[in-house]
Amino acid sequence: MTMKATANRFQTAVARKRGLPLGRRAMVTVLAWIISALQPADADQAQARPPLSKWLVGTWLLESFTSTDDNGVVTDAMGPGAMGYISYGADGWMSVQLARPGRALFAVPDMDGGTVEQTVEAARSYFAYAGPYVVDEEGRIVYHNLLISLMPNWVGSEQKRYVKTEGDDVLILSGDPVLIGGKTQITQLRWRRREAVLQ
């Protein structure tokens, strides 16, 4: 039963119980008013929204990628202006690409043309993985099951992401604590839905 329906039931009870002592009638009326006031203004729109598994489908552009350490210090995890995309397919497959801005070029434009230092920096300034995903509708969680990953330790792992939304075009994903730079941190990535490109 929705909060609105519950409020209506309380109001009906007040109408039928006119014989209640004044104090109890007032209490029931106040309780009904509180429940009605707590009803979200966009409740009808929320009920009309498709399941999370369908709503997620598409490609999302990174707006921010932050990490918060044990002391509550928030930093840009890949520097200001990090770039990235995350895609969720209707076939149950997802992929994500993240990059620091202004990545240095290799000395030679060849897959193996970078020096050791350039290759290390290229790996440190980029992150990617892909695999099937599963949505927990009730818990508002999406599980990424990694088949490939830039970080070898994550291959075969299940990455849990807590989902928050803002309107129809903003997706916010956060995870459980993870080690970054030797510190335990919690990451949060804010994404905006990318408009389909018409041919």
For residue 162, is it within any domain?
A: yes
Q: Are residues 60 and 35 in the same domain?
A: no
What are the b/e assignments for 134-155, b being 16+ CB within 10 Å? ebeeeeeebbbbbeebeeeebe
CATH number of the domain within which 62 lies: 2.40.128.280
- Over the chain (199 residues), the average pLDDT of each successive run of 10 is 50 48 49 45 55 97 94 91 97 98 88 87 95 97 98 96 96 91 89 76
pLDDT computed for residue 45 by the predictor: 46
**Residue 176 shares a structural domain with residue 138:** yes
Do residue 112 and residue 147 come from a single domain? Answer: yes
Q: Which residue has the tokens 């009730």?
A: 138
User: What pLDDT score does 103 carry?
Assistant: 92
State residue 9's pLDDT score: 52
Q: What is the pLDDT of residue 63?
A: 97
Query: Number of folded domains in the chain?
Result: 2
Same domain, 85 and 132: yes
SS3 category, 139: coil
Look up the domain containing 54 and give its range: 50-193
Helix locations, 91-146, DSSP H: 116-124
In a domain, 198, yes or no: no
pLDDT of residue 144: 98
Q: Does the model's pTM come out above 0.85?
A: no
Pair (43, 98) in one structural domain: no
pLDDT for residue 48: 67
Tokens matching residue 54: 């369908």
Question: Does 37 share its domain with 74?
Answer: no
